[in-house]
Structure 1
Amino acid sequence: MSSATSDPLSALVALPGVPDAVDAVRKAVDRVYGHRVMRRRSNEVTSEAALRGARASAALAGADWSLEEVRRRTDFGGEGEPRAVGAALRLTAEAGQLLSVWRQSPLRVLARLHLVAAGDGMPGRADEGGTDRVGRPRLAGEGVTEPLIELPAPDADEVAGRLDGLARLLLAGTEAPALVVAAVVHGELLALRPFGSHNGLVARAAERIVLVGGGLDPKSICPAEVGWSEQGRASYVGALEGYVSGTPEGVAGWIAQCGRSVELGVRETTAVCEALQRGAA
Structure 2
Amino acid sequence: MLDLAEVAPAFASAREAVDAAHRHRALRRHGGQVAAEASLRAAVASAALEGNTYDLDEVRGGTVTDPVVQGALRVAESLPGLVDLWPRAPRQVLAKLHVLAARGVVHDHDLGRLISGAERIDALAGLVAGNETTPPMLLAAVVHAELITLRPFAGPAGVVARAAARLTLTARGFDPRGLVMVEVGHQNREPEYLGSAGAYATGTPDGVRSWLRHYAAAVTVGAEEIGVIGDSVLASV
Structure-2 change in CA distance of 1:74 and 1:119 (3 Å) = farther
Looking at structure 2, the residues matched to 250 and 70 of structure 1 have their Cα atoms a distance apart, in angstroms, of: 35
User: What are the Cα deviations for residues 219-269 of structure 1, in whole angstroms up to 9, with x where unaligned?
Assistant: 11110000100112x222101111101111211211111111111111211
Task: Please say if 1:88 is aligned against 2:72.
Answer: yes
Give the equivalent residue in structure 1 for 2:193. Answer: 236
User: What are the Cα deviations for residues 116-154 of structure 1, in whole angstroms up to 9, with x where unaligned?
Assistant: 112257xxx835xxxx7111101xxxxxxxxxxxxxxxx
- Runs of 4+, deviation exceeding 6 Å: none
TM-superposed deviation, 1:74:
4.7
Answer whether contact 2:44 2:54 (CA < 8 A) is retained.
yes
Looking at structure 2, the residues matched to 236 and 27 of structure 1 have their Cα atoms a distance apart, in angstroms, of: 22
Task: Please say if 1:183 is aligned against 2:183.
Answer: no
Give the equivalent residue in structure 1 for 2:25. Answer: 36
What letter corresponds to residue 68 of structure 1 in structure 2?
D
Looking at structure 2, the residues matched to 269 and 277 of structure 1 have their Cα atoms a distance apart, in angstroms, of: 12
Give the equivalent residue in structure 1 for 2:39. Answer: 50
Give the equivalent residue in structure 1 for 2:156. Answer: 198
Query: For 2:183, which of 196, 214, 225 is the aligned residue?
Result: 225
What letter corresponds to residue 241 of structure 1 in structure 2?
G
Q: How do 1:121-140 residues align onto structure 2 when only pairs under 5 Å count?
A: 126-127=107-108, 133-138=110-115
Answer whether contact 1:16 1:249 (CA < 8 A) is retained.
no
Task: Please say if 1:62 is aligned against 2:39.
Answer: no
The Cα RMSD (Å) is 1.6
Answer whether contact 2:58 2:64 (CA < 8 A) is retained.
no
- What SS does the aligned partner of 2:129 have? helix
TM-superposed deviation, 1:197:
1.4
Looking at structure 2, the residues matched to 107 and 29 of structure 1 have their Cα atoms a distance apart, in angstroms, of: 28
User: What are the Cα deviations for residues 69-100 of structure 1, in whole angstroms up to 9, with x where unaligned?
Assistant: 11112562xxxxx1111011011111221111
Query: For 2:172, which of 214, 225, 247 is the aligned residue?
Result: 214
Answer whether contact 2:87 2:130 (CA < 8 A) is retained.
no
Unaligned runs of 5+ in 2: none
TM-superposed deviation, 1:174:
4.4
Answer whether contact 1:13 1:176 (CA < 8 A) is retained.
no
Looking at structure 2, the residues matched to 51 and 112 of structure 1 have their Cα atoms a distance apart, in angstroms, of: 19
- What SS does the aligned partner of 1:219 have? coil
Q: Choose 1 or 2 for highest CA Rg.
A: 1
User: What are the Cα deviations for residues 13-62 of structure 1, in whole angstroms up to 9, with x where unaligned?
Assistant: 22222211221111001111111111111111111100011111111111
What letter corresponds to residue 177 of structure 1 in structure 2?
P
Q: Tell me the TM-score normalized by structure 1.
A: 0.80
Looking at structure 2, the residues matched to 191 and 49 of structure 1 have their Cα atoms a distance apart, in angstroms, of: 26
Answer whether contact 1:37 1:277 (CA < 8 A) is retained.
yes
Answer whether contact 2:41 2:184 (CA < 8 A) is retained.
yes
What letter corresponds to residue 107 of structure 2 in structure 1?
A
- What SS does the aligned partner of 2:86 have? helix
